[in-house]
Amino acid sequence: MTSPLKSRRTLIMAAAAGTCAIAAAAGGPAAAFVLAPLGIEGLQGRWVMVLRLEQLKEGEPKRVAIVSERRDAWTLDENVELGSVWLVRRGETVLAFSAVCPHLGCSVNAVGREFACPCHTSAFDADGKKKSGPSPRDMDTLETKITGPLVLVNFRRFRIGVPEKVEA
């Protein structure tokens, strides 16, 4: 005959083992759900269709709003303006520059076929290279691709005030 103390101990051990098994089975999906907003998707940029190639004139800068969805934790907002870029057509390729000045984040304007920041007089040539002013680097370039008649930009944000191009 088994003593009551020994059978009680066996019951408690079995209950503890069962609880651990249930926690382990539920833990994986629960952790994935909680950590999902911390994923690296946002760090890789996002390809956004901005316009048709025929809308760009050769060598003439055109400012284009980047409109896409924005995910904040579990909330998804659609058709949100995330920022803007300058596009310059060079034959069948398109250059894209962030419209944010690398100095302190002011909005860069086109001046003819070149660029200038009105806040602190940084000036950039037609290729986005720094000509003068306090900007610590050239204008930030973004990847582009042409799919059929459409121009897509891999939109990203970069840190301001630092000499290296680093994603924000």
Q: How far is CA 146 from the centre of its chain?
A: 20
Residue 61 belongs to domain with CATH number: 2.102.10.10
| Same domain? 48 vs 8 | no
CA 60-64-65 angle, 5° bins: 170
Q: What is the signed CA dihedral for 81, 167, 131, 113, rounded to 10 degrees?
A: -30
- Do the domain assignments include residue 48? yes
- Do the domain assignments include residue 76? yes
pLDDT digits (tens, 9 = 90+) for 113-152: 999 999 999 999 999 999 999 999 999 999 999 999 999 9
Name the 3-class secondary structure at 57. coil
Cβ atoms within 10 A of the Cβ of 114, count?
A: 16
- Do the domain assignments include residue 98? yes
Paired tokens of 16: 């503890």
Please give the tally of structural domains in the chain. Answer: 2
Is the pLDDT reported for residue 91 higher than 50? yes
Rounded distance, CA 128 to CA 13, Å? 69
| Same domain? 50 vs 14 | no
| Same domain? 27 vs 47 | no
Contact 98, 142 (CB under 8 A): yes
Q: Kindly indicate the confidence band of residue 71, based on its pLDDT and cuts at 50, 70 and 90.
A: confident
- Do the domain assignments include residue 75? yes
Contact 85, 155 (CB under 8 A): yes
Q: What is the mean pLDDT of the chain?
A: 84
- Domain ranges, residue 31: 4-38
Place of tokens 């269709």: 49
| Same domain? 49 vs 74 | yes
